[in-house]
Amino acid sequence: HRSLIYVIVAINGYLLYQAFKNNWYKSRWIAIAVIIVAEALVGVILAHYGFPKAAQPLHLLLSTMLFALQFDLLIQLRAPKGVV
């Protein structure tokens, strides 16, 4: 689970670079970047502080928000111009 953050950061980092380079949905990518950083911080809290009660639901909420933003962005990027 801890190693997966490297894959998530690498993939989203590349996509973030492409997004800023091509001026795609910058506000959405900023939200994705903030959520990834928050997820990493909550993951560190979970790993080093004995799974505090509030941290696990926050971790699940952030991961759900991240997935939803990524899915929405995927739909918008694949849609023909002017449809979404």
- Gap between the Cα atoms of 10 and 48, Å rounded: 24
Q: Per residue of the chain (84 residues), what is the pLDDT tens digit?
A: 678 878 888 888 887 777 777 677 778 888 988 999 999 899 889 989 988 888 999 999 999 999 998 888 777 777 777 666
Contact (Cβ atoms closer than 8 angstroms) between residue 69 and residue 35: yes
At 24 the pLDDT is 72
The amino acid occupying position 15 is L
What are the residue ranges spanned by the domains of the chain?
A: 4-78
At 21 the pLDDT is 75
- Name the pTM for this structure: 0.76
The amino acid occupying position 52 is P
Report H helices in 1-54: 4-22, 26-48
